[in-house]
Structure 1
Amino acid sequence: MIKSILKVISVAFITFSLTIISTVATAEITINWPSIWVGKDSKTTVIRELVDEFNAANAGAIKVVIEEQTDYDIYAQKLTAQISTGKLPDVFTVGSDLLDILHRSGKAMDLAPHVNSDSHWNNVYPENALQSNMMGGQLTNLPYELFVTPVTYNKKLLKAAGYDEFPDNYDDFFKMCEAVTATGKVCTSQMTGKNAWTSMLWYSQALASAGGPDIYEKGLDHPAYVKAFEVMEKMYKYTTSDAIGADAGVSGGHFLNERTAVFMNGPWFIARYTSDGIAGLHENIGVAPAPMLSGGEGAPGGYIGGKQSSLAAGKQSDPAKEEAVVKFLKWLTTPENVARLSYSSGAMFIVKADLPSDMDRLFQEMNEQKGNAPYVAPIFINGIGSLPIAKEFSQALSALALGDVTPEGAVEMLQDAE
């Protein structure tokens, strides 16, 4: 009798255990994605569509949950802290300035085994694009969004100042700024808040013009760093009164509302010229390479740019979740999906995708100028190879704009941060 009871209990326990195991095995996997492609970002709509489509195709098995990160700088600070002391998100985007510390943290998923075992990756990426991103035999990020940052200018406002074409040298550029000022408009959008993004791009252009595209290999003692700050010092004579302390929203907002004539940002901003700009702004915009410094080591038509955002994933202890994450990354890198993203936003991507022939005019002009450029030099925060120096840039620029330091003093601030 006792044996029979024990046998029944044993069978019941095994049945219950198998039920639990089956339930666990088939439970929906949740992938958390703290995404900056939300809110006013030009990629928001298609990213939401792609996530919804992925979730529908994998209903009951995998669900991607977007955690909205509307402030790029706060997101970067949070991610930096997670890389250093916390746990990484399941899926995330990472800027070029954090790729090295991400790899060294040991917290990122190594995607190399997946890339080596699945032809998808080498089919959608250009030759050696993934191999060149490997560190110590590991692949902890997938290059994704690329960028170039030419000058964007308001042709209508320049014409009112007597200019039909954008100047190709800084002497003529500042003469143009005088002419624009005389019309009652402000020449350039600048900023010093947060990472001083748009002004940092101008500095990067001037730096490559003065010192050549390999300037970051020459050290902070090279005179090009001072010359580029001299350009910025003068630039702040032709900007808005709120530029010191302004963030990207303020800087971009002035250009979108035709309060400034000249702006610098990447192709991802193209869609906003229509969605957020004053009526008729888009058709009045032209793009051009930045002006050149006389006697510099750069070349006319030179561009700056590089990798904007790479895809990455946190290390997983559950093989099933790791496979789910990789499946989602494959979805984001599918050429058809990348083409949709590029078409809707104007952003550029490294994934091989057949883009529609009716891509935005500004995208086509940027792409053509990039193709004709003698070089595409890194932007300062990526090329300098030092996170402390990159973070110090906005402080040095603020001090320069306020008149607290000279261009030489601004360079010294960068050197002291190293």
Structure 2
Amino acid sequence: MRPFGTTSNFSRRGFLAASAATGLGAAGLSACGSSDDSGSGKKTIEWWNITTTQPAKKLWAQRAKEFEAAHPDVKIKVVTLENEAYKSKMTAQIASGKLPDIFHTWGGGVLKQQLDAGLVEDLTDRVSSWTGNYVPASMAAYKFDDKLYAVPFDIGAVGFWYNKALFKKAGITAPPTTWSGYLDAIRALKKAGVTPIALAGKEKWPGMYYWAYLSMRVAGLDAMQKASDDADFTGDDFVKAGQHLKDLVALQPFQKGFLGGAYSDPNGEAALMGNGKAAMELMGQWAPIVEADSGKGIGKDLGFFSFPAVEGGKGALTEVFGGGGGHALRKGAPQEALDFLKFFAEKEFAEKLIKQTGLIPVSKDTADALTDPNLTAVSEMLNKSTGFQLYLDQAYAPAVGQEINDSVAALIAGSKSPEQVTRSVTQVAKSEKS
């Protein structure tokens, strides 16, 4: 099972054809941590990552070689794994108490578990001199008790991608900013003969986004954290969030057969958007790429807006839901591992990644490198954000995230009530705490 949900993070970012690219089996990954290479006299730093797609994979390998050239006494052993293989290997390494010197992390619940096991290095003071201008939202998933345990290289956020031409056809002059206005827009689209929302119901995590954002807007970020800390999601505000989602489902806004719909299939959620067959999808910053890959793409007709505010709710329109990727160090990793993190984060290389691979800047110093208008819209939302909530199937313990995905899918399918969703999630959360 994916540590953070039911589908790979690459699927979420549109990298849907990723495969294990190293050929390394378990034996090749059994010994982690730096070592002295007796044959060459070099210190070996082991770096595990999940960047299996081009051109990013090539750029990351080149960066390791550039570091070796600048540090002749160091060898960077690059271990690149597809997402699911990476998680399986990391689970085994965590159980053994041996992590790589440098390893990919999404932050949240799994990083917290590694931290609680004493396996992760505190980077707070060691990176402060060169991360001071990072976008606060990019750091949020890796902070616990105001201490930083990973350095982000990627950040993104979920919002509504919409078809401007279909909105115009329905007489909608501007994206809605309130939940009641959003439901009105759904009604207008249906009246105009337009499918309002594309949804990959089969994959569950796209539906989770709705309950997560509604919970944020109704309960607020502090309540989200408290519910996790107390292992109790049965509060009235979480029930209200489910009721709002139930109200949306009652309008029948999704495409025919959405419960069996996939995300990236030829007839899936992204293709419906990419072919102009649906007006909206709630998705992350990878959406335009996947829409164009799965369908024809709608070009300049594609727009983006934030998840609406819920009237009377405690959350703010400027609070954002999303996630990213970062690098952490094992406890006791050598200085050379930290030196590589800083080398990887240097402005020139970060700008290259932004321009060539579509990453959204994590540092304000590299913001000018972003020119894609769609990604710029997401970046601007992140820069203006007043709060950040990590994907729920990453923020919480893995079993809790899985239950949220499953229970929300059942709510959307009509087989669970809003109250039953909160009780099911709470039951799993309490069992994880015990």
Calculate the TM-score normalised by the size of structure 2: 0.73
Residue 213 (structure 2) aligned to one of 192, 195, 205:
205
Equivalent residue, structure 1, for 2:305: 288
Partners of 2:38 and 2:91 in 1: CA distance: 36
Equivalent residue, structure 2, for 1:228: 241
Give the match's secondary structure for 1:283: helix
Conservation of the 8 A alpha-carbon contact between 2:163 and 2:279: yes
Partners of 1:170 and 1:277 in 2: CA distance: 29
Q: 290-299 or 59-68: which moved more?
A: 59-68
Equivalent residue, structure 1, for 2:10: none
How far apart are residue 49 of structure 1 and its match? 1.6
Conservation of the 8 A alpha-carbon contact between 2:195 and 2:277: yes
Identity within the alignment, %: 18
Q: Deviations over 1:320-346 (max 9, x none)?
A: xx4553343223211222222233444
How many residue pairs were aligned? 378
Residue 149 (structure 1) aligned to one of 129, 150, 158:
158
RMSD: 3.7
Larger radius of gyration: 1
Pair 135,221 (structure 1): closer, same or farther in 2 beyond 3 Å = closer
Structure 2 matches for 1:101-116, cutoff 5 A? 101-108=113-120, 110=121, 112=123, 116=126
Partners of 1:273 and 1:175 in 2: CA distance: 25
Pair 243,273 (structure 1): closer, same or farther in 2 beyond 3 Å = closer
Residue 315 of structure 2 corresponds to residue 298 of structure 1:
yes
Partners of 2:311 and 2:387 in 1: CA distance: 19
Structure 2 matches for 1:204-283, cutoff 5 A? 204-217=212-225, 219=227, 220-236=233-249, 237-244=252-259, 246=261, 248-249=263-264, 250-272=268-290, 276=293, 278-279=295-296, 281-283=298-300
Q: Deviations over 1:214-273 (max 9, x none)?
A: 231454232221122123334443223444365543433432333322122333445545
Q: Deviations over 1:99-118 (max 9, x none)?
A: 2101122333x2649x64xx
| Structure 1: gaps spanning 5 or more residues | 1-20
Q: Deviations over 1:27-68 (max 9, x none)?
A: 584735241x333xxxx4244223224325526852443424
Q: 44-53 or 151-160: which moved more?
A: 44-53
Conservation of the 8 A alpha-carbon contact between 1:96 and 1:382: no
Pair 364,417 (structure 1): closer, same or farther in 2 beyond 3 Å = same
> Aligned partner of 1:165: which letter?
A
Calculate the TM-score normalised by the size of structure 1: 0.75
Pair 55,121 (structure 1): closer, same or farther in 2 beyond 3 Å = farther
How far apart are residue 361 of structure 1 and its match? 1.7
Pair 186,214 (structure 1): closer, same or farther in 2 beyond 3 Å = same
Equivalent residue, structure 2, for 1:10: none
Residue 52 of structure 2 corresponds to residue 38 of structure 1:
yes
Equivalent residue, structure 1, for 2:411: 400
Partners of 1:295 and 1:134 in 2: CA distance: 30
Residue 188 of structure 2 corresponds to residue 179 of structure 1:
yes
Give the match's secondary structure for 1:260: coil
Give the match's secondary structure for 2:242: helix
Q: Deviations over 1:328-384 (max 9, x none)?
A: 3223211222222233444334345333366222233333344445x3341461797
| Structure 2: gaps spanning 5 or more residues | 1-35, 228-232, 430-434
Pair 125,46 (structure 1): closer, same or farther in 2 beyond 3 Å = farther
> Aligned partner of 1:262: which letter?
M
Give the match's secondary structure for 2:259: coil
Pair 245,24 (structure 1): closer, same or farther in 2 beyond 3 Å = farther
Q: 240-249 or 401-410: which moved more?
A: 240-249
Equivalent residue, structure 2, for 1:336: 348
